[in-house]
């Protein structure tokens, strides 16, 4: 599958300033401020840049960290991991495999069944609600 590649100007035309700063420039939103940190709606959380189906609401949990947290990616092939040594820390950054959008970080302190906590910026996501 071909990766989605666009210029900064193209991404800026498609995203809000906050979405661009977070998803394309590896920013973060303040804790407890994002649209989805306390959202309990059912659906698929998609990449804000390309629409890839990254996480399902069934895997979302309240980690208390202030960002949407998931214990499992919807498809491991859609989320890439990278070593992040910014800000004097060593963390594992997660990005969208399809377009390279910065999503957040993954930590080994989540619940069963994976023990993982994907700590994801709301600005990197768009909830596609389930049809009832």
Active-site residue list = 119
Q: Which helix (H) or strand (E) holds 9?
A: helix 8-14
Neighbours of 59 (CB within 10 A): 19
Distance CA(104)–CA(120), nearest Å, equals 4
Q: Which sign does the torsion angle of CA 36, 110, 59, 41 carry?
A: negative
């Amino acid at each position: 599958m071909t990766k989605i590649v666009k210029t900064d100007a193209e991404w800026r035309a498609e995203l809000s300033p906050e979405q661009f700063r977070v998803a394309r420039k590896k920013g973060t939103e303040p804790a407890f401020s994002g649209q989805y940190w306390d959202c309990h709606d059912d659906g698929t959380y998609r990449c804000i840049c390309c629409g890839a189906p990254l996480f399902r609401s069934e895997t979302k949990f309240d980690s208390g960290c202030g960002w949407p947290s998931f214990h499992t990616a919807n498809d491991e092939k859609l989320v890439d991991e990278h070593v992040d040594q910014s800000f004097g820390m060593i963390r594992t950054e997660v990005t969208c495999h399809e377009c390279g959008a910065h999503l957040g970080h993954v930590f080994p302190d989540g619940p069963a069944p994976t023990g993982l906590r994907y700590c994801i910026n709301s600005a990197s996501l768009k909830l596609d609600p389930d049809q009832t």
